[in-house]
Chain A
Amino acid sequence: GENVEQHPSTLSVQEGDSAVIKCTYSDSASNYFPWYKQELGKRPQLIIDIRSNVGEKKDQRIAVTLNKTAKHFSLHITETQPEDSAVYFCAARTTDPRFGGTSYGKLTFGQGTILTVHP
C-alpha cells in the first residue's frame, strides 16, 4: 500500500519568513495530493491540493509543487504569520482495487509537521 513520509516533524520560523514542508510517497499510481491544516482542537482543514497532471499550484501565500518522477511534493508558505501556526498534514490518494480501481478518496496521511511562527 501507499506510504507517505513527511519532514520536518517540527518547524519554527520568524514571522515574515517562508516555510517549506516536504513529503514523499511510495506508490507511483498516486494521483492526488492534498494538504490539511489542523489547529489545536479543530478538524483538519483542506488548504490546497494538487493533481498529478500539474507541477505547481498557488493560492495567495500558499503553493504546492509536485515532482512525479522523484515522488515528492512540497508545501510552501510565504510571508508567514502567527495564525499560520498549526499542524500541517500532507496526504496522497491512489487507486484502490477494492473499489474497481477507482480512487474514491482513500487518503494516506503523512505524520504531520508542527509549524510555529514567532511574532
Chain B
Amino acid sequence: SAVISQKPSRDICQRGTSLTIQCQVDSQVTMMFWYRQQPGQSLTLIATANQGSEATYESGFVIDKFPISRPNLTFSTLTVSNMSPEDSSIYLCSSGSTDTQYFGPGTRLTVL
C-alpha cells in the first residue's frame, strides 16, 4: 500500500489569506486526488492531479480558488486561496493504483 504524508497537519488562518498543503507519496503514482471533508460529513472530491498537465476539477470547485501543482510523480500541492470561514474543513490527499486508493492523514484547516 502507498504511504502518504501531508503537511501541515493543521493550521489556523485569517480570512483573505492562502494556505498551501503538501502531499508526498512514497512511490510514483499516476493520479493524486484532493478531497475535502467537512465536520461529520463524507468525502468530496475537489480535483484530480495529473503529472505534467493541469488538474481536473469537480463541479463546484475552480482553479482560481484551489490551484494545484503536480511537479512529479510523488508530490502534489493544493492551495486554498483567499480563504473564508466556509473553507474550514479537513483536506485530504489520496493516491494509489488505478483501483486501490489510500489517504493521507489530512490537514485540518480553521479560518477565522
B48 touches A112 (CB 8 A): no
- Which of A44, A49, A110 is close to B99, meaning CB atoms less than 8 Å apart? A49
Residues on the B chain within 8 Å of A98, using CB: 56
- Inter-chain CA distance A36–B94, complex, in Å, is 13
A104 touches B30 (CB 8 A): yes
Number of interface residues of A (CB under 8 A): 25
Contact with B along A28-58 (1 / 0, CB 8 A): 0000101010000011111001010000000
Could you tell me which residues of chain B, from 45 to 86, have a CB within 8 Å of some CB in chain A? Answer: 45, 48, 56
B33 touches A106 (CB 8 A): yes
B43 touches A109 (CB 8 A): yes
A103 touches B48 (CB 8 A): no
A112 touches B30 (CB 8 A): no
- Inter-chain CA distance A105–B104, complex, in Å, is 15
Residue in chain A with minimal CB distance to B59:
A1
Residues on the A chain within 8 Å of B96, using CB: 105
- Inter-chain CA distance A36–B35, complex, in Å, is 14
Interface of A toward B, CB cutoff 8 Å: 32, 34, 36, 42-46, 49, 51, 89, 93, 98-99, 102-112
Interface of B toward A, CB cutoff 8 Å: 1, 30-31, 33, 41-45, 48, 56, 92, 94-106
Complex A-B: 6 CB contacts under 8 Å? A36-B103, A103-B98, A104-B31, A105-B96, A105-B100, A107-B101
